[in-house]
Amino acid sequence: MAGLNRLLRARGSTIFSITRSCSSSLNSEIDLRAASSVNHQRLPLCGEREPKDRNVQWVFLGCPGVGKGTYASRLSNLLGVPHIATGDLVREELSSGGPLSSQLAQIVNQGKLVSDEIIINLLSRSLEAGVAQGKSGFILDGFPRTIRQAEILEGVTDIDLVINLKLREEALLAKCLGRRICSECGGNYNIACIDIKSENGSPGMYMAPLLPPPHCASKLIIPI
């Protein structure tokens, strides 16, 4: 992502690419004028704090199922900063009946990608809500996804750290197919038991399923 690379060079950020080999324990068209206008105003990422006093501003990248949400949520709790996953923002807006819900429903039902403009809109609202609650800093999960998003992010804030998580393709597929959500409490689980044998010099991999507690077992649904 050229825009993200420029972001990192310009801001002095650090980028790590992490390959997980064994870890069981641990579009509607883009309105460029509207999106570009974000470049001329600072998003509420740091509240009123001086840069040296603000909380971390990190980005987690990687394929679906690689573990971005798992690690980002754990670090969010540890560091006391908001964990913002754009996929969650879209799902919340769809279920809320908010101003963008009908437009999003049409996009999703047609199998299209959500535009950069809508994603930026949802992200800005989430950050504003966090600032209003006295929160600062963030861990972005899966954003930016496009060069345009990276360019907009570059224009509105400083990023301290970018982590790009990687995992073998067969493990990613198994994890994505095994995802489940409790329809009552919203807990995330995974019923996949990944057991890849070593062969041709490649190491094996075992990842136990993340099973729900008994009271959630009968309420699991496949996420959209």
**CA separation for the pair 173, 170 (Å, rounded):** 5
- pTM for the full model? 0.68
pLDDT for position 199 = 84
CB–CB of 136/58 below 8 Å?
no
Tokens 């994890």 correspond to: 175
Structure tokens that stand for 16 in this block: 């790590």
**CA separation for the pair 113, 92 (Å, rounded):** 17
Taking each helix axis from N to C terminus, what angle separates 116-132 and 101-109, rounded to the nearest 10 degrees?
A: 140
The phi and psi torsions of 184 (rounded to 5 degrees) equal -95, -50
Cβ atoms within 10 Å of 1's Cβ, excluding its own:
17
pLDDT for position 27 = 31
Got the DSSP string for 145-169? Answer: -SHHHHHHHHHH----EEEEEEE-H
H or E stretch including 189?
strand 188-190
- Between the two ends of the chain, the Cα-to-Cα distance in Å is 27
Please state the domain extents for the chain. 2-167, 169-224
**CA separation for the pair 45, 11 (Å, rounded):** 15
CB–CB of 122/38 below 8 Å?
no
pLDDT for position 70 = 87
Tokens 């603000």 correspond to: 54
pLDDT for position 6 = 41
Peptide bond into 144 cis (omega under 30): yes
Write the CB contacts of 218 (distance below 8 Å, at least 6 apart in sequence): none
Determine the residue type at 62: G
Q: What is the CATH number of domain 2-167?
A: 3.40.50.300
H or E stretch including 170?
helix 169-177
User: In the beta sheet, which residues pair with residue 166?
Assistant: 19
pLDDT for position 164 = 93
Chain segment 110-138, per-residue pLDDT in tens: 888 888 888 888 888 888 888 888 888 99
Which residues of the chain are under the pLDDT cut of 50?
1-14, 20-42, 45-50
CB–CB of 94/105 below 8 Å?
yes
